[in-house]
Structure 1
């Protein structure tokens, strides 16, 4: 700051103080020269030093010194994505395992997506659920703690879960990415069933996504159950594979929690786009301690000058 140029005037201030100092007079100068130096004489140079430091410190305080606490600009990687999640009744099927305990497909999905969100802090992510109808759960946002709360609150009773409208769900996700100007736009579709409701077919929805340069990753999530608890596999893997192929994505099959975790980890590695992010720097003001230090030095100089180190006539 230009105010620091005032530091150049300090020598002039010292010169002015020296010219106004009352000289020490004595009738016998030779006798004076032979007198031993007292402690007052030895400490006299301390006064201009304190004065100089005090004035300099006050000038620095006026310049408002600050300390930045954050970086200003960083380069990072980000995409805009919609997590499209099946919330039909079949997602309550307990054919996944966590710590030797049976958990539902939805529980497994919530666990994995929570960790996925924590690993992508710079992405704008939204959530759309679907069963017989699609339902917007969260818009595109960087507020991932809030997204995690929304994920943890999902349950199959939020919607009419008797049927599965995959095509309409994709259309709803596309609508939320339509205005995005991100270089990479993706939908991660997770389902355990087949399209049997809605007005738009999954194939037509995929064609619309391709036209808007939106990539769809598809995940068939259903565990394997045997014996008395065996259930027929109703996942339409062929359609899910076609959706991914049409839009440039990838089809995955998740039969257990570890596989589901690995799938989201792989997608996390595949979808990286470098962008520049402006981060505002927070500053801490340092003027107050400099001001107090300057006043303390000048006060000390005045006390010494009028007290033990004062000149006598």
Structure 2
């Protein structure tokens, strides 16, 4: 299927005949000027003017028609499939504190760091979010944006793969990480906005309290799904233990904001949590296929150029 983007431009085809009609000499006046022989003799044959031949006129018409056709914008529509879309903005807040180096999870049957497991499963999760605008926030002593919200999920997944411990300290500023994720979602009112927060520790850095930031999320209408990662939590130990996760706080954040809470003690639990979030926040809706046009105007434009050059170089008769 092809068409012209600006078909009304074809009215310009009538321009040369109109110009010739109105610019033609009056029929009542002769087209020649009689001059004395003394004046005519002053002109040598070398000063004669070339008159356009019929072939040059044909070339001029070809050039004009091709130029008008190019201005009309010929194009052909290419087949395109429907695109996945959700209208959702999703931010991932990832804990990069020192405890993520613990080797108490398994990956492909081998003992692995928590961070390695999260990077593998998390990047796969991000790549599967086609249709969402996804971003990544990492936090430890403080929070930073590792990937701005984007529909380019492959680029965000690459940032996920590159996440490393020690970039911003080794503590756990849960409130700061969640707060920065909410800030990045504040410019998208009217959309479904979601945060997935993963942590394996307790809030021990930053000035923002997690419960206060959870209330802000509720006010903004942002759902926060939380993942508490680690074999032990604060309610299961006595005394100080740096290797425990504050599951109660993460559960409270999810409940206040209207999200879901997931307790992860092993790699299989994290896989189930990610699958559950995929079901809660589906991505498999299709928007109408957007037309993709292939522009054809360079072809008539090229023909107009060649015809113009040919007409300029064509030999004419002399008068």
Q: TM-score range by the shorter chain?
A: 0.5 to 0.7
Match of 2:174 among 166, 190, 193: 166
Q: Distance in 1 between matches of 2:158 and 2:298?
A: 42
Counterparts of 1:275 and 1:208, CA distance in 2: 32
How many angstroms does 1:282 deviate by? 3.5
Q: Does 1:195 align with 2:203?
A: yes
* 1:112–1:277 Cα change, 3 Å: farther
The two structures, once aligned, show a CA RMSD in angstroms of 3.3
**Secondary structure of the corresponding residue to residue 253 of structure 1:** strand
Deviation string, structure 1 residues 34-65 (Cα, Å, up to 9, x no partner): xxxxxxxxxxxxxxxxxxxxxxxxx9x99987
Secondary structure, in 3 states, of the residue corresponding to 1:205? helix
How many angstroms does 1:71 deviate by? 3.4
Structural mapping, 1:1-313, within 5 Å: 66-71=75-80, 76-161=85-170, 163-223=171-231, 234-272=244-282, 276=287, 279-283=290-294, 285=296
TM-superposed CA distance for 1:69, in Å, is: 2.4
Structure 2: which 5+ residue stretches go unaligned?
1-6, 11-65, 233-240, 300-319
Q: 1:82 Cα shift?
A: 0.8
Q: Quick one: structure 1 residues 3 and 170, their matched pair in 2 at CA, closer, same or farther if it must change by over 3 Å?
A: closer
Alpha-carbon spacing, 1:258–1:67, altered in 2? closer, same or farther (3 Å): farther
User: Deviation of residue 129 (structure 1)?
Assistant: 0.5
Equivalent pairs counted in the alignment come to 232
Please tell me whether the aligned partners of residues 80 and 289 of structure 2 are also in contact (alpha carbons under 8 angstroms). Answer: no
1:6-27: CA deviations, max 9, x gaps?
xxxxxxxxxxxxxxxxxxxxxx
Once the two structures are superposed, residues 68-91 of structure 1 have per-residue CA deviations (whole angstroms, 9 ceiling, x without a partner) of 224387573241011000000100
Shift of 1:284: 6.5
| Distance change in 2, residues 1:99/1:72 (3 Å) | closer
Determine the C-alpha separation between the residues in 2 that align with 1:137 and 1:245: 27
Specify whether residues 248 and 241 from structure 1 end up closer, same or farther in structure 2 by C-alpha distance, changes over 3 A only.
same
CA distance in 1, matches of 2:83, 2:190: 17
Distance 1:287 1:198 in 2: 59
Structure 1 Cα separation of the partners of residues 175 and 298 of structure 2? 62
* 1:122–1:142 contact (8 Å) kept in structure 2: yes
Q: Can you give the 5+ residue segments of structure 1 that lack an aligned partner in the other structure?
A: 5-58, 225-230, 289-313
DSSP 3-state at the match of 1:282: strand
What's the secondary structure of 2:90's corresponding residue? strand
Q: Is the 8 A contact 1:79 1:124 kept in 2?
A: yes
CA deviations on 1:139-184 (whole Å, 9 max, x unpaired) are 11111221121111111021111x2111111111111111113521
SS of equivalent to 1:158: coil
Contact 1:78/1:272, CA 8 A, preserved across alignment: no
Normalising to structure 2: TM-score of the pair?
A: 0.64
Taking a change above 3 Å as real, the CA distance of residues 169 and 285 of structure 1, as seen in their structure-2 partners, is same
Q: TM-score, normalised by structure 1?
A: 0.65
Given the superposition, is the C-alpha separation of residues 92 and 281 from structure 1 closer, same or farther in structure 2, using an over 3 Å criterion?
A: same
